[in-house]
Chains A and B, each alone.
Chain A
């Protein structure tokens, strides 16, 4: 199952795929490209990835979530060049009730950000570009 995609992600289609009579709760997380970062205006960004490792890690994270909660999960992440507002990442967690759906969705997005080898290069108004480093001090202050 490829989790990385170079083309647009359709969140509604992913959510629809997991809909089932026994699943009374679906949580859909959509991460989109923000127009600012650390006080700078972002005009576009580019995601790159270590594809084979990223796919393996996404598979593992989804298995962990399924083992921990009675849910089904969908996950997609864009690679390549994205414009402001584009959908960058989608997580769907579907289960019998909202508690497990919220918890599993949160787990999958947090672990994806932490463990999947994907990198983001931002281009700012004015033309400068920089790789985003979430471990840098400024990032820790500005990113929730």
Chain B
């Protein structure tokens, strides 16, 4: 995947500890190879600070919990979620 300007298709969201350690909350990616959730996660894990993200993190695709195998398409929103701590 390539990092691109905000006209590109897949919107990636980070929260809490992940956002702190990678240094951003949103990122826009252009899928260039196999456009899966796993590819997004791998891209993030390769960024500075990305080692905080586990190999199998909680991920939401368009607000629903998703598996790594799911395909992402233009306009999708992929959120990588740290362990939840509400309540």
Contact = CB atoms under 8 A, between A and B. Distances in A.
B83 A117 contact: no
A133 B79 contact: no
Interface string A25-59: 00000010000000000000001111011101000
B81 A89 contact: no
A131 B16 contact: yes
Interface string B63-85: 11000000000000001011111
B87 A133 contact: no
A121 B87 CA distance: 12
Contact of A131 (B17, B60, B86): B17
Contacts of B63: 52-53, 56
Interface in B45-71: 60, 63-64
B84 A118 contact: yes
A114 B81 CA distance: 12
A119 B84 contact: yes
Contact of A133 (B15, B20, B81, B82): B82
A50 B17 contact: no
B13 A50 contact: yes
Interface string A99-126: 0000000000100111111111100000
A97 to B, nearest CB: 26
A116 B84 contact: yes
Contact of B15 (A50, A114, A136): A50
A109 B86 CA distance: 10
Given A52-B63, A53-B63, A116 B86 contact: yes
A113 B84 CA distance: 7
Contacts of A53: 60, 63-64, 79
Interface of B: 13, 15-17, 20, 60, 63-64, 79, 81-87
Given A114-B84, A115-B84, A120-B85, 11 more contacts: A50-B15, A50-B81, A53-B79, A56-B63, A89-B86, A116-B84, A117-B60, A121-B16, A131-B82, A134-B84, A136-B83
